[in-house]
Amino acid sequence: MAEATPGRAAPRPLPPGLDLLWGRRERGKRGPRPGLSADAIATAAIRLADAEGLDAVSMARVAAELRVTTMALYRYVANKDELLQLMWNASALGAERLVIEGDGWRSRLRSWAVIQRDMLDRHPWITQMPMAAPPVGPNSMHFVERGLEAMDETGLPDGMKIRIIGLLASYSLSEARMAADATRAAKAATAAADAGAGQPGPGPDGAGDSPGPPPSFEALLRELVDERTYPRLYRLAWQPEPATSMSEHEEFLFGVDTILDGVQALIDRTGGGY
């Protein structure tokens, strides 16, 4: 529990969950269970979410993973919302030791964005978490600090740097969410097709058809748009090389590089100031 020091006011109480992450929660009257900790709880919850998705995570399931009673978890974590905060913070474990390499601010900031996207791809359940505010756990703050550090030489003010970090983080999260949703949809379509493989074939009206893979963007355009109403989309749909010929990762990097082009333009326009 943080205490006041001479000449300094006592620390302000933190919201539930953050007080646990930052070590400011007082111990309850009941002592901790030997061998159990907030870190162990977060690790078990992440293991469950990685394997089965966020919907599979509950206090009861995590307790079963740890072979303890659900009530034992409540000595550390008050509810599922706090459990989610623990998981998010634990997903960035090691950020304090992270070294962002690169020749200049641009390559370092690009690497920072790629590291974040890789983490989201390893733990796609993060894209399903409620996000009313940016995460402010200690590990998350270490990662933000590394991003700010990457821009030391830009001359931009700190307020502008944190906005750039927020822009890159929002973009990475959005792209990771779409990729995760597409993966889940593809798995669901495959499961439905496998389930229908042993069923009787379709009747004359087509009943009983198994759903195939979702159509591509170009295929949908060709089906839906006409040249007079949507001339530009029509041109995209019927051009020799598909508009989405890039891989998903290449599309992500294209977006990151476009954002960084904007940062460079901002530096050039303001001389590093604002």
Taking residues 21-47, report their average pLDDT: 78
CA–CA dist 2, 180 (Å, integer): 40
Which residues form the domain of 53? 18-91
**Three-class DSSP category at 120:** helix
Res 257 pLDDT > 90: yes
Res 1 pLDDT > 50: no
Q: Are residues 109 and 224 in the same domain?
A: yes
**CATH number, domain at 147?**
1.10.357.10
Does residue 258 belong to any structural domain of this protein?
Answer: yes
Does residue 223 belong to any structural domain of this protein?
Answer: yes
Does residue 2 belong to any structural domain of this protein?
Answer: no
Res 13 pLDDT > 60: yes
Q: Are residues 220 and 170 in the same domain?
A: yes
Other CB atoms within a 10 A radius of the CB of residue 179 amount to 19
138-to-127, 213, 252, 254, 270 alpha-carbon distances in Å: 20, 42, 27, 30, 33
Q: Are residues 180 and 46 in the same domain?
A: no
Q: Are residues 83 and 180 in the same domain?
A: no
Could you tell me the pLDDT band of residue 200, with boundaries at 50, 70 and 90?
low
Length of the chain, in residues: 274
Q: Per the structure, how many domains does the chain have?
A: 2
Pair of tokens at residue 230: 């949507």
In contact, 46 and 90? CB cutoff 8 Å:
yes
What pLDDT score was predicted for residue 63? Answer: 96
Considering 59, 91, 123, which residue would you say is the last residue of a domain? 91
Taking residues 230-252, report their average pLDDT: 83
254-to-232, 248, 258 alpha-carbon distances in Å: 21, 10, 6
Res 244 pLDDT > 60: no
CA–CA dist 112, 90 (Å, integer): 18
pLDDT in tens, 135-186: 889 999 999 999 999 999 999 999 999 999 999 999 999 999 999 998 888 8
- Tell me which residue has tokens 């950020």: 95
- Mean pLDDT over each residue of the chain, to the nearest integer: 86
pTM beyond 0.75: the answer is: yes
Does residue 205 belong to any structural domain of this protein?
Answer: no
Q: Are residues 126 and 82 in the same domain?
A: no
Does residue 198 belong to any structural domain of this protein?
Answer: no
Taking residues 255-273, report their average pLDDT: 92
Res 5 pLDDT > 70: no
Residue 142 burial (10 A CB sphere; 0-12, 13-18, 19+):
middle
State the helix-helix crossing angle for 80-91 and 138-150, rounded to 10 degrees: 40
Does residue 13 belong to any structural domain of this protein?
Answer: no
Q: Are residues 57 and 38 in the same domain?
A: yes
The DSSP H or E segment spanning 142 is helix 138-150
Does residue 8 belong to any structural domain of this protein?
Answer: no
pLDDT in tens, 62-116: 999 999 999 999 999 999 999 999 999 999 988 989 989 899 999 999 999 999 9
What is the dihedral sign for C-alpha 263, 266, 272, 273?
Answer: negative
More confident of the two residues 20 and 193 = 20
Q: Are residues 140 and 234 in the same domain?
A: yes
Other CB atoms within a 10 A radius of the CB of residue 252 amount to 21
**CATH number, domain at 81?**
1.10.10.60
Does residue 1 belong to any structural domain of this protein?
Answer: no
Considering 38, 62, 91, which residue would you say is the last residue of a domain? 91
Considering 55, 76, 91, which residue would you say is the last residue of a domain? 91
Res 3 pLDDT > 70: no
CA–CA dist 93, 109 (Å, integer): 19
